[in-house]
Structures are given as C-alpha cells and as structure tokens.
Chain A
Amino acid sequence: MSREIPVSDLMAVALARTIRDGEVVAQGVDSLLASLAILLARAMHAPSLTWITVAGGVNPDPGTLPDSSTSPAWLQGTRAILGNPEFYRLAMRGGMDRMFLGAAQIDRHLRLNLTVIGDRDRPRVRLPGGGGAAVLAQVIPHVVVWRTRHTPAIFVPEVDFVTAQGNVEAVVTPLGVLRALDGRLVLDARFPGVSPEEIAARTGFPVLPPGPVRVFEPTRDELRILGDLDPGRRRELEFPRAPR
C-alpha cells in the first residue's frame, strides 16, 4: 500500500473499523463519510449491525449516496420510519451503541464545539449548532468524531464553546486516528506518508504517545468494497479543496 490511497478512502475505512458487529449505529445530518463507513462495516466485518439514520431509516439501502441529508435515499429499503423523538428516545434509554459526530473544534479533553467560533455573544462564526449532540454524546457509549481537515485552529487546547462532551472515544482526521486515553486525546495511528511530527505540528496540544505510532493500512478488500459502494466518489464532497 502506498500514499496514493485517497485520504477519503483512508478515513472511511478508519471510521468503519471502529464499528463492532452487532452494534446499533447512528449518524446525524450531513454525514456522508460516516454513512459510507457504516455501509462499509456492514459489507465487511459487521454484517449484523443495525443502522439508524437521522432521517429515521432503519437499515436502509441508499444506493448511490445522495448529497442531501433529507434525500429519500436515506429511507430506501427501510421497513420502519422513526420520527426524531423516537430517534432520541431510543438513544436516551440506552438503545444506541455508537454515533458518528462532526465538530468545528475539538480540544485535548475531547470536548466538541459545533456552536460558535469566538465569544458566544459576539461570535466570529455562528455555526449550525449541535442538534442533540449535548445529550447523545453522554447517552451513547461510543462516540466517534471525524473532521476532513486537521489544523491547529480545529484541534485547540480549549474549545470556544462546549457543545458536547462525554463518550468520545476516537477522532478520525485526514492525517490519522486519535483515541481517548485517560481523558486525553492521543495519536493512535497515522496514515501512510504522514509523520508523527507533522501531526504534532498541526495539533494545538500534545498528542504524541511515548512510543512509535503505527501506520494505518487499509486492506485491498476494504478499498475494493468501498469503491463498489461509492463508485462515483461522492465521499469527496466532504473534503475542502484546500490541502488536508
């Protein structure tokens, strides 16, 4: 394997591998890469996962990945539809195992900001908000975060606003995989061609573990099935044109 593997593929595989077979897995709005990771896990190592989409679909077969979170594709093949209250009630009574969340800022205490950049009353950027993340990140035991850029402005020592915190166990970025260890975020794996030093330089707080950091290698099967699931590479939609 070489560094020519597209970063979107590496991230999708890394997200997929966090899923364990049999889990009830959910994703929110605007979550193309997470949805693809769930489909990949279902096709690879977790055939008996239950996928609940924020649109209310249960184990849908979306076919070609749509670019809108409200597309009917997220309900294609579902045999039941959950409204939003049902979605949240299921999570709150402990019925969801894993959730994928995005974040504008992530800090060393694994806290997420999806609300504002800058001061809350005079924000530089007003973000869409966290939806139910403040609750979900504490009632769902396994929370995995992804972000398609990795810069010191995103990985900050302290977030400007704590939208959610709790059960974040991993963060997947274009550079590698970070994991929660004793309440801190620590580099767990780096993508091919990325050095630990580069990751350290692009993170606003220390993340390097004491020893060497393994290189994340997707298998040929994972990459082939990913290609079959998203032949049109819709997954690139989440990636800014700027360098990773």
Chain B
Amino acid sequence: MQAASLGIPFLPIRGLRGTDVARAGGFATVRDPYSGEEVYAIPRIRPDWAVLHVHEADEQGNARIYGSPGYDLVMAEAAARVILTAERILPAEEFAAHPELTKVPGIFVSAIVRLPGGAAPGACMPDYDVDAGGIGSYLASAESEADLRLYLERVNP
C-alpha cells in the first residue's frame, strides 16, 4: 500500500529471503541499478475502498486520530476512496483552530459516518479497550447470517 500511496507499481524491500512468505506471495526480486543489491519487489495494493474508524471528524472528513494511527494514514492514501466512521463529529471551527492535529485530510475522504463505539468489540485507543466478551458473542453469532443480523441489531440499535 505504500507503493500505491506513491503511485508506483512496487516497492523494493529488505528481508523475506529464504521464506515461504515470498514464495507463496509470488514475489520477484529486482536488482538495485546503482549498487547491484538484490531486493524483493512487493507489488502495490490499491484498494477500491478504505474504511477507517477515527476519534473525531468534521463534516468534510478531516479527521483526528488519537492513540496509534496504525496503518490508517497509508491506507487513506493508497485506497481509491475512503469512508470514515467517527466516534464524534466536531464543528468545522474546531478543526480550523488546530489544523495541525488533522491526521487524515478531508480531501482524501468520500463519506463520513457518525458511529460512536464503531470499533467495538475491538479497541479504539485511548477511548476504549478490546471487549473480550463482545468478541466472544460476535464469534458465536458469526456462524449464521440470521444470528449475525441479530448481533448487529443488538450492538448498533
């Protein structure tokens, strides 16, 4: 996805030598034209959509992420379109007052959904941690479509 964010077809990367990860992924090597070093060339992944859960967004999709951004920022640049789900929607003035806190610029974003608790039963640091019981009930309901529907209605009424 870093390659996709740069608009290039692949990214040369160290490591992977002698692994089945490289073999199973069908990764080829390329030679550095300057040093001659052989490195793996990882083809880009360009998702059609990225769905990112953020702490705060405005109505244009400018977003703040607290805790670790994980891979969110590279996904926001790699995907053709981005959907944000947000714990809170804040007024535009709040973002205008502190634009340096914006992690995902709204110009990358196609749609915004206000969705408090949207990462549950996963974590949304630092707001809430993983809910082990919640993961258990999700797994129990994920076996059948009907149960899954009931689960989703229960957690997001």
Residues 124-165 of A at the B interface (beta carbon under 8 Å): 130, 134-139, 161-165
| Chain B interface extent, by class | 20 to 34
Q: Which residue, of A72, A136, A139, has the highest number of chain B Cβ atoms within 10 A? A: A72
> In the complex the two chains form, what is the Cα distance from A82 to B71 in whole Å?
10
B18-A165 in contact (CB<8A) = yes
| Contact partner, B20, options A75, A82, A136, A163, Cβ 8 Å | A163
Number of A interface residues in the complex (CB < 8 A):
30
Is B59 in contact with chain A by the CB < 8 A criterion? no
> In the complex the two chains form, what is the Cα distance from A42 to B101 in whole Å?
33
Interface with B: A16-24, A63-71, A207-215, which one?
A: A63-71
B68-A82 in contact (CB<8A) = yes
Q: Which residue, of A92, A134, A138, A161, has the highest number of chain B Cβ atoms within 10 A? A: A134
Minimal Cβ-Cβ distance residue in A for B67: A75
Binary interface encoding of chain B residues 1-24 relative to chain A, with 1 for a CB under 8 A from any of its CBs, else 0: 010000000000111111111101
| Contact partner, B14, options A85, A111, A139, A165, Cβ 8 Å | A139
> In the complex the two chains form, what is the Cα distance from A159 to B130 in whole Å?
32
Query: Which residues of the partner chain A approach B17 to less than 8 Å between Cβ atoms?
Result: 138, 166
Is A5 in contact with chain B by the CB < 8 A criterion? no
Residues 43-96 of A at the B interface (beta carbon under 8 Å): 55-56, 66, 68, 70-72, 75, 81-85, 92
B20-A70 in contact (CB<8A) = no
> In the complex the two chains form, what is the Cα distance from A72 to B14 in whole Å?
31
Is A120 in contact with chain B by the CB < 8 A criterion? yes
Minimal Cβ-Cβ distance residue in B for A72: B126
Binary interface encoding of chain B residues 42-81 relative to chain A, with 1 for a CB under 8 A from any of its CBs, else 0: 0000000000000000000000000111111110000000
Query: Which residues of the partner chain A approach B38 to less than 8 Å between Cβ atoms?
Result: none
Is B134 in contact with chain A by the CB < 8 A criterion? no
A137-B15 in contact (CB<8A) = yes
**A10–chain B nearest beta-carbon distance, Å:** 28
Is B152 in contact with chain A by the CB < 8 A criterion? no
B20-A120 in contact (CB<8A) = yes
B129-A135 in contact (CB<8A) = no
The 13 sampled A-B contact pairs (Cβ below 8 Å) are A55-B67, A70-B122, A70-B123, A70-B129, A71-B129, A72-B67, A72-B125, A83-B70, A83-B72, A84-B71, A137-B15, A161-B24, A164-B19
The 10 closest A-B pairs by CB, nearest first: A135-B15, A70-B123, A56-B68, A138-B15, A134-B21, A83-B69, A72-B126, A68-B130, A162-B20, A134-B19
